[in-house]
Structure 1
Amino acid sequence: MEPTTHSALKNAILEWDGKSASAIKTIYQQFREFDEFPEWSLSMLKDAELQRGASYLLKQWLSDGGSLSAANIKSIHQCLPTVDDWQALLHLLQSAEYLPIGKAEKSSVEFALRRHLTHPNTFVRAWAYHAFYWLARQYPEYRADADQFLNMALADEPASVKARVRQLQKQGF
């Protein structure tokens, strides 16, 4: 690993205003070709100043077909209860379908997701339903709870959350 490149990524995220979509996409384009890119981004999830940018970079990496080792996926799952920034949490929840949950982590992931279903931010709640759905797709023992949560969301949540839930229900288990 070339420390100067890791440092350059860190500095780029620190210089990013935390809002500009085009700027973070440019950062992604600059660094995604490095073999160490996912590990660098993952290492930055533990730093509150870097969480938002690093989580976006990881989400983009995964949605573009990038893969992570089982150990790296486990690290992301371990971050779920401790991420400070709501947008960083949102990015991780949006990546749920790319992050298979190991048997050893399923209880802690379940606990974190249940907690996020009541998050004050509606976007986080919507994507917590998404992540819980993917947990239930992987582990059928959670399907009854997932169905119950999705049905409750349709009755109680704002329209933006209901839209996400309807999309999940259309996919089925």
Structure 2
Amino acid sequence: MSEALRAALLEFDGKALSYLSETSLRFKQAPDYLETLVGLAGDRAAHIDNGATWLIKDHLEKGGAQAPELVAPLLKQLTTEPSWPAALHILQSVRRVDLTGARDTAAFDAMKAYADHPRPFLRAWAMDAMWRMAHAFPDLQADARRAIGTGLNDKAASVRARARQLSKEACE
């Protein structure tokens, strides 16, 4: 199945989400679907990492679960210089996974680096991911709070809005 899914993702043009939805319908019933996608999240050929991470994010957004043993390998992809869309999808997925078994200092450091990325959505979602990691690992809270403080003064409205939302969560 992994070769067939990889071949399907090679056909993805990086834009047609309808193609990815069709790909999901074709492969999602396979028992190793998510495991294969996590592996393909590290494949830099064409738009494979972009497509694989979008499929993971889509699965999670539709209420699907991510096996706990696949969370750390997915987060580890942030340390391997994925395409910016793949990094965004991974960062957006962090809020939907169980992080308790995914303690990874390198992945958290990568999130901190993305919090300074030129692309505003990457900054916003890196800050969000850092906050989620800090909930699972309280010793990371100081860094996450610093990122939120920086985000409150960001030039991009999307980053400021995410920072305000996270500030409200921090007060709850």
Match of 2:37, as an amino acid? S
2:61 corresponds to 1:63: yes
2:35 corresponds to 1:39: yes
* CA contact 1:51–1:83 (8 Å) conserved in 2: no
TM-score, normalised relative to structure 2: 0.88
Q: Across the two proteins, how many residue pairs are aligned to each other?
A: 169
Secondary structure of 1:80's counterpart equals: helix
Structure 2 alignment gaps of length 5 or more: none
2:107 corresponds to 1:109: yes
Structure 1 alignment gaps of length 5 or more: none
Which residue of structure 1 aligns with residue 161 of structure 2? 163
Calculate the aligned-residue CA RMSD, in Å: 1.9
Change beyond 3 A, Cα 1:152–1:100:
same
Q: Distance in 1 between matches of 2:107 and 2:97?
A: 11
2:36 corresponds to 1:48: no
* CA contact 2:42–2:82 (8 Å) conserved in 1: no
Q: Percent identity?
A: 32
TM-score, normalised relative to structure 1: 0.87
Secondary structure of 2:63's counterpart equals: coil
Change beyond 3 A, Cα 1:119–1:158:
same
Regions of 4+ moved over 4 Å: none
Q: Distance in 1 between matches of 2:128 and 2:103?
A: 18
For structure 1, which segment, 163-172 or 115-124, has the greater mean C-alpha deviation from structure 2 after superposition? 163-172
Match of 1:10, as an amino acid? R
